[in-house]
Structure formats: structure tokens, C-alpha cells
Amino acid sequence: QVQLQESGPGLVKPSQTLSLTCTVSGGSISSGSYYWSWIRQPAGKGLEWIGRIYTSGSTNYNPSLKSRVTISVDTSKNQFSLKLSSVTAADTAVYYCATDSSGYRLRYWGQGTLVTVSS
């Protein structure tokens, strides 16, 4: 069974770039056909889909975040990553990575990591 673990800085300064990594265990990120996704959740609020990358390398992003988001895969490390540029306090949230073989559901989730944007 696939297991996911987010990692990265817990504190990012305004205007900087937020960078997170999701390490995949229990399977190879380059085998099979999977969608590797990022979702975030501000404290006390709902889930927001950020975007995803398919095994082939194709990406889809939330239109409201598209100009600031990049999702990529590092097959040598069995990881995929999120970069969100020009962050503000509104980007403070718990960030989750998730995956599934179908692009229409999210079966496997990481535990989430809190990122705070503050000077």
C-alpha cells in the first residue's frame, strides 16, 4: 500500500517561495499510472485542491493558483514536490499530498504538514 509523507519548512517569509516534498513509500513513483496531488487546508477552513502531476509528467493546476504553482516529480528520490511562489499570510495552511490511480478520487493521503507564512 502506498504511503506518503510531507516534509519542508514550517515557516516561510512573505513574498518568498514555499517548497514542500512528498516522499512515496510502498511503491515506485514512476511505475504504474498515478496522479500525484497537493491539497491545502487553512486552520478551521475547508480543503482546497492545489494541483497534480500525472506519471507522464502532465500537470493540472487550480486556476486561482496556477500562476504561482509548480508541481514536479523526482523519480530518483521517489518524491514529488510543490513550489508556491510569492506567498502571503493567506497561504498559511496544512498542506497534504495525496495520490490515486484514478484522476477522480484521492485514496491515499499524507498526514499533512503545517506551513506558516510570517515574517
Partner 1 sequence: QSALTQPRSVSGSPGQSVTISCTGTSSDVGGYNYVSWYQQHPGKAPKLMIYDVSKRPSGVPDRFSGSKSGNTASLTISGLQAEDEADYYCCSYAGSYVVFGGGTKLTVL
By three-state DSSP, how is residue 76 classified? coil
Q: Does 70 bind partner 1 (CB under 8 A)?
A: no
Lay out the sheet containing 69-74: strands in order across: 3-7, 18-25, 79-84, 69-74
Number of residues in contact with partner 1 under rule CB under 8 A: 25
Q: Does 38 bind partner 1 (CB under 8 A)?
A: no
Q: Which is nearer to partner 1, 16 or 42 (CB)?
A: 42
In the complex, least distance from residue 79 CB atom to partner 1, rounded to whole angstroms: 18
Residue in the block written with cell 484521492: 106
Residue in the block written with cell 500525472: 54
Contact residue for partner 1 among 28, 30, 75, 102 (CB under 8 A): 102
Q: Does 111 bind partner 1 (CB under 8 A)?
A: yes
Q: Does 22 bind partner 1 (CB under 8 A)?
A: no
Q: Does 27 bind partner 1 (CB under 8 A)?
A: no
Q: Does 110 bind partner 1 (CB under 8 A)?
A: yes
Of 29, 15, 17, nearest to 97 by C-alpha is: 29
By three-state DSSP, how is residue 66 classified? helix
Q: How far apart are CA 108 and CA 101, in angstroms?
A: 10
Contacts with partner 1, residue ranges (CB under 8 A): 37, 39, 45-49, 51-52, 60-64, 96, 102-107, 109-112
